[in-house]
Homo-oligomer: A and B are copies of this chain.
Amino acid sequence: MTNHTPRVQLLLTGNEIMSGDTVDSNSALIAKRLDELAISVYRKVTVGDDPALLKSELASMAQAADVVIINGGLGPTVDDLTAEILAAVAGVELAEHPEALAHLESWCAGRNLPLNAANRKQALLPAGCHVIDNPIGSAVGFEMTVSDCRIICTPGVPGELRAMLDWIISDLARGLQRPVERDILRLQTFGLGESSAQQLISDQIPDWPQEVELGFRAGAPQMEIKLSIDRNEDQPARAHCLAQLEALFGDHIIGQGDTLLAGRVLSLLRERKATLATAESCTGGLIASMLTQIPGSSDAFHAGFVTYANDIKRDVLGVSQADLDTHGAVSEEVVRAMALGAMDRARANYAVAVSGIAGPGGGSDDKPVGTVWLAWGEREHLRTRCLCWPVERSLFQTMIAAAALDMIRRMLLGIDEEPRYFRQRRAR
């Protein structure tokens, strides 16, 4: 291999991937590991266990790429075709490979299994190939160079592939005569859409440096912004980009890496030795569930109340029947009383309360589906707001639960600025 960045293609094989019975996560795994070498996968082709099609795909890839990684088809069954296909494309025979046979024998011996014919097939590899150790499974990997293209054959079982990738990545790094090379910074945000974030960045940061690659991954409720740069590129450029993003929408940035909203809220509470209680109607326990998914959440979260029915809001949280009758369950008065009741019963410093109409039923002209009142804060400093977020029920619950946590996060950080999504979704 030369020391330019190699052009890499992936060839995935397996009827179970084509049929959709298996979702392919292997190519994502391979791509993420290659990213450490600043190598991108250029093209990926997936086909079933069809020998003619596999041969023609591999032959054309070997012409166009520097490296082809084949995944799948190493197993013991008749539809495992990779060794046969590579031998055909390389113009060599299949031969029993002593190293592969020894591996199979020791693998079977370790499990008190006889070495049967099906297993023994896994030692039949293209003549002249190099074996790659499989520290976990029976099928060894193998590789050989055809028409100046290095073809690396890997197993379809994710754990076996993962184990083999360590060797493959370090071997590719040696071939490139350089160490792992790319720095990636991930920012977790809430309340920004992909298109509005992209638009804001285009409008407000026209001098974005080309060497800092910008990516978005929209999820619900969070969106990830990824900045990546080659390690030998201008590092201050990335710091500059980060500073500009922070100036542009810093209050929407929850944290770096894998930070979750609930995790951020819990650590802010922990720093203050404070606790939070939840009172949920339309989110139905989701806020509590997001908090308690974080290990160690019991430090700062002791109690949550799912008060779905009006009499429960009254009897459990002390909401007055008069407020329920006069203003309805989806009202400022009721969420305020829910928050105070939860704080009281949980002896918590902070509370967040939510009451709204998740749909599809239950809306009215005055309060359509998607209307929701939030209350959050401390006893002496309780804030409320009404939003209208008319989306499908489970997305509504996810986004509103996250917005409730985000309100607490902003209050704990002393951010007074109104979030962008409030400006857009304000109902009254």
| Residues on A facing B (Cβ under 8 Å) | 15-25, 27-32, 35, 40-48, 53, 57, 75-78, 110-113, 116-119, 136, 138, 157, 159, 194-196, 198-199, 202, 215-218, 224, 226, 278, 280, 282-289, 291-293, 295-298, 301-309, 311-312, 315-316, 345-347, 358-361, 388-390, 392-395, 397, 424-426
> Which residue of chain B is the closest to A284 with respect to CB atoms?
B292
A295 near B29 with CB under 8 A, answer no
Residues of B within 8 A of A23 (CB): 23-25, 28
Interface residue SS majority, chain A: mixed
A119 near B19 with CB under 8 A, answer no
Residues of B within 8 A of A195 (CB): 75-77, 116, 118-119, 138
With A46-B44, A285-B292 as known contacts, state yes or no: A301 contacts B297, CB within 8 Å: no
CA distance A283 to B282 in the complex (A): 19
Q: Report the minimum CB–CB distance from A52 to chain B (whole Å).
A: 12
CA distance A284 to B303 in the complex (A): 9
With A27-B20, A285-B287, A305-B305 as known contacts, state yes or no: A293 contacts B394, CB within 8 Å: yes
> Which residue of chain B is the closest to A282 with respect to CB atoms?
B292
Number of copies: 2
Q: Report the minimum CB–CB distance from A355 to chain B (whole Å).
A: 12
B28 near A111 with CB under 8 A, answer no
Picked from B15, B57, B278, B397, the residue with its CB within 8 Å of the CB of A215 is: B15
Residues of B within 8 A of A18 (CB): 31, 40-41, 44
A199 near B308 with CB under 8 A, answer no
Picked from B110, B292, B308, the residue with its CB within 8 Å of the CB of A304 is: B308
A309 near B305 with CB under 8 A, answer no
Picked from B28, B43, B202, the residue with its CB within 8 Å of the CB of A20 is: B28
CA distance A391 to B135 in the complex (A): 11
Residues of B within 8 A of A30 (CB): 20
Q: Can you list 25 A-B contacts (CB < 8 A)?
A: A16-B215, A18-B31, A21-B217, A21-B226, A24-B27, A43-B47, A44-B45, A46-B46, A76-B194, A76-B198, A111-B389, A116-B195, A116-B196, A118-B195, A118-B196, A118-B199, A138-B195, A278-B306, A284-B288, A284-B293, A286-B292, A296-B361, A298-B308, A303-B309, A304-B305
